[in-house]
A and B are shown apart, each in its own frame.
Chain A
């Protein structure tokens, strides 16, 4: 891509909007941008504003400063949601990454049956999360569930899985790993395929072992793809809602289910729920910034 020629500051804007091609470009972008600004950025601004008021669904209420955030931090449901969300995010993304990378490395070659493997990758991905939650709940179920049956038969669990908060969280992690590991593998595989084969050939000629090749060539060259995959999965796991909501019949708390209950179901805790919504937004923003600034993830498609 050629870069815009630098001009003197004065007249830059006029030149920018004076050129017909550029004007057309802005006209073409504007509708999409407006939709995004009005329906996503304006509401988040409004959310942040509301979070300083004792707001209800119907009116803004009195200014209370940071009181909503203080109430949020002392709320025991919020704390449960926060710790569940952190455990869920860290554990599931870790396993998805490790297993996904192993799968990507294994299938990065020509072999018979690629189509079948591709289908096996895409089928769990295409499922609506709530439907996979319904399906797995049927399998965890204590009267007819195959997993419950096998786990009890082996003596691993003695109580209904769906009635135990810890087992339920583990179950949710299992479902998430099942559903998104293949997708992780797909993203990493695409990254692997951009590494030219002769790099490995040269390393092999120089006597590098498999382990050395993995740590010295594969990982560094795969870093951009790894960061993108990890960031997307981390943010996705961090806002987990549908899986928890449906699998546990609304009992397993995450940050998002906390917000949902406060804002939509009971509305008694509206202002605290709204503060938690802002908390999720800010945390997600910080996570993204961490990946981009600290880990050096590239965000632009321009080279």
Chain B
């Protein structure tokens, strides 16, 4: 259904085509330039950083800024913390999300629209509205400054995304195989585990990437519930770097580059899947 419009505007004069490519190049440059510029800032010397007028291309590349941040145990710890928080969130979301998404996509039950509305409501929900009560409760449970304090709210706000995308993936799978499995005496749960899960693996993987990026990028909850540097993820640690390395702008740039690297690599490798996952829920409305 998506490819129909592709051929429509392929004819066009040479001038039009040239303008089109100029437009594309400008667009790509504007999108990517800030990252390239900050990367440049991260590999030049301090004196070159402060040069006026600024140099366009790095004159004297150096890894000094990267040595600074990797020599800082706080930075390494923050990277590990981010990985733990985002990884755990992703696993929990995929587990509960795929079960719920299967029921929504395949099974018939009365309160489906209410359930869907409740889940959708979370994506409209301003997270800042619940930080006060959550803070009070987390304090009662004694989980402030533990990974759990970030993982629990992250799961809640990532779940709708996970469920939404998985529902659209599950709906695309052929029904025949599960029906056959059920005819052979499999229960609903068995049909889900043995037939759907393996078939849906690519979709589940895409969802995992999107959930991971969502959790990796989360800032508000981490910044509210994690005040101890031992558990802070990079999103909280890096802005604080600005206070530690007040004038070491190169270190700040290097830290920003290091944190976005894993994401940029994920995005470049899996771009096709990510686009299909992102637009899956939105197009169907």
Q: Could you list which residues of chain A lie within 8 angstroms of chain B, going by C-beta atoms? A: 2, 4, 12, 16, 20-22, 24-26, 28-29, 31-33, 35-37, 39-41, 43-44, 46-47, 50, 57, 103, 106-111, 113, 115-139, 141, 143-144, 146, 149, 153, 178, 182-183, 186-187, 189-198, 200-201, 224-225, 228-229, 231-232, 235, 238-239, 241-242, 245-246, 249, 255-256, 259-260, 263-264, 270, 273-274, 277-278, 280-281, 284-285, 288, 297-302
Residues of B within 8 A of A37 (CB): 118
Q: Which of the segments B71-79, B149-157, B199-207 contacts the partner chain?
A: B149-157
B186 on the interface (CB 8 Å rule)?
Answer: no
Determine which of A24, A33, A57 lies in contact with B189 in the assembled complex, contact meaning CB atoms within 8 Å. Answer: A24
Which A residue's beta carbon lies closest to that of B270? A122
| Partner among A26, A33, A121, A278 whose Cβ is within 8 Å of the Cβ of B109 | A26
A6 to chain B, nearest CB (A): 10
Chain B residue with Cβ nearest A282? B129
Neighbouring B residues of A134 by C-beta, 8 Å: 238-239, 242, 252, 255-256
Interface pair A119/B123, CB less than 8 Å apart:
no
CB distance from A54 to the nearest CB of B (A): 14
Closest 6 CB pairs of A and B: A190-B279, A25-B107, A28-B103, A128-B217, A281-B129, A43-B133
Contact of A242 among B109, B118, B220, B285 (CB under 8 A): B220
Contact residues in B for A50 (Cβ distance below 8 Å): 132-133
How far does the Cβ of B248 sit from chain A's closest Cβ, in whole Å? Answer: 11
User: With contacts A36-B159, A40-B156, A136-B34 known, what are 18 further pairs, Cβ within 8 A?
Assistant: A22-B108, A29-B100, A41-B118, A106-B24, A116-B28, A119-B271, A126-B213, A128-B235, A130-B239, A135-B38, A149-B52, A178-B31, A224-B285, A229-B282, A263-B224, A281-B126, A302-B112, A302-B113
> 0/1 per residue, B43-86, Cβ < 8 Å to A?
00000011011100000000000000000000000000000000
How many whole Å from A57's CB to the nearest CB in chain B?
7
Judge if B208 is at the interface, Cβ distance under 8 Å: no
A240 and B122 CA atoms in complex are apart in Å by: 16
- Asked whether A39 lies within 8 Å of B109 as measured between CB atoms, the reply is no
Q: Is B130 within 8 A of A47, CB to CB?
A: yes
Proximity string of chain B (242-285) to chain A, C-beta cutoff 8 Å, 1 when within and 0 when not: 10000001001101100110011011100110110011011111
A186 touches B275 (CB 8 A): yes
CA distance A267 to B97 in the complex (A): 36
Q: What total of A-B pairs shows CB separation below 8 Å? A: 333
With a cutoff of 8 Å between Cβ atoms, the chain B residues found around residue A41 in the complex are: 118
B238: contacting residue among A35, A130, A139, A278, CB under 8 A: A130
Residue B136 is within 8 A (CB to CB) of chain A in the complex: yes
30 A-B pairs (CB sep. < 8 Å): A4-B110, A12-B110, A21-B107, A29-B99, A29-B100, A29-B115, A39-B156, A44-B125, A106-B20, A108-B9, A110-B10, A119-B267, A120-B28, A126-B217, A127-B263, A132-B34, A134-B239, A134-B252, A135-B253, A153-B53, A186-B279, A190-B2, A193-B4, A194-B283, A197-B4, A235-B124, A239-B128, A249-B242, A256-B128, A301-B168
Binary CB contact string for chain B from 6 to 22 against chain A (1 if under 8 A, 0 otherwise): 11111000000000100
Shortest A123–chain B CB gap in Å is 6
Given A31-B100, A43-B137, A194:B2 Cβ within 8 A? yes
Q: Which interface class (under 10, 10 to 19, 20 to 34, 35 or more) fits B?
A: 35 or more
| Contact assessment for B24 and A117 in the assembled complex, using a CB-CB cutoff below 8 Å | yes
Contact across chains for B123 and A232 when beta carbons are under 8 A apart: yes
Candidates A111, A113, A122, A153; contact of B267 at CB < 8 Å: A122
Out of B37, B38, B96, B109, which one reaches A32, CB within 8 Å?
B96
Determine whether the beta carbon of A124 is less than 8 Å from that of B252: no
Q: Please state if B129 and A44 are interface contacts (CB–CB under 8 Å).
A: yes
A198 vs B207: C-alpha distance when bound (angstroms): 33
Contact A264-B131, Cβ < 8 Å, known A39-B153, A301-B116: yes
Q: Given A46-B133, A190-B283, are A122 and B6 also a contact pair (CB < 8 Å)?
A: no
Closest CB-CB distance, B210 to chain A, in whole Å? 10
Please determine whether A110 and B129 come into contact, CB atoms closer than 8 angstroms. no
CB distance from A84 to the nearest CB of B (A): 15
Say how far A174's CB is from chain B's closest CB, in angstroms.
Answer: 11
A129→B268 CA distance, assembly (Å):
19
Q: Report the bound CA distance from A249 to B133 in whole Å.
A: 26
With beta carbons under 8 angstroms apart, the residue of B113, B136, B155, B234 that contacts A300 is B113
Hey, what's the 0/1 contact readout for B83-100 against A, CB within 8 Å counting as 1? 000000000000011011
| B274 and A122 contacting across the interface, CB-CB below 8 Å | yes
User: For the complex, what is the distance from the CA of A117 to the CA of B256, rounded to whole Å?
Assistant: 23
User: Could you say which residues of chain A place their CB within 8 Å of the CB of B268?
Assistant: 119
Question: Does B183 reach chain A (CB closer than 8 Å)?
Answer: no
* B160 to A, closest residue via Cβ: A36
Most central of B34, B119, B128, B152 by chain A CB within 10 Å: B128
Contacts A36-B118, A50-B132: A144 and B249 contacting too (C-beta < 8 A)? yes
- Restricting to B192-232, which residues have a CB under 8 Å from any CB of A? 213, 216-217, 219-220, 223-224
- Inter-chain CA distance A256–B284, complex, in Å, is 31
Chain A residues contacting B41 (CB-CB under 8 Å) are 138, 144
Q: How far is the CB of A160 from chain B (nearest CB, A)?
A: 15
Closest Cβ–Cβ distance, residue B31 to chain A (whole Å): 4
Within the assembled complex, what's the spacing in Å between the Cα atoms of A117 and B253? 25
- List A contacts of B282 (CB < 8 A): 187, 190-191, 225, 228-229, 232
Complex partner residue of B135 from A29, A146, A255, A264, CB under 8 angstroms: A264
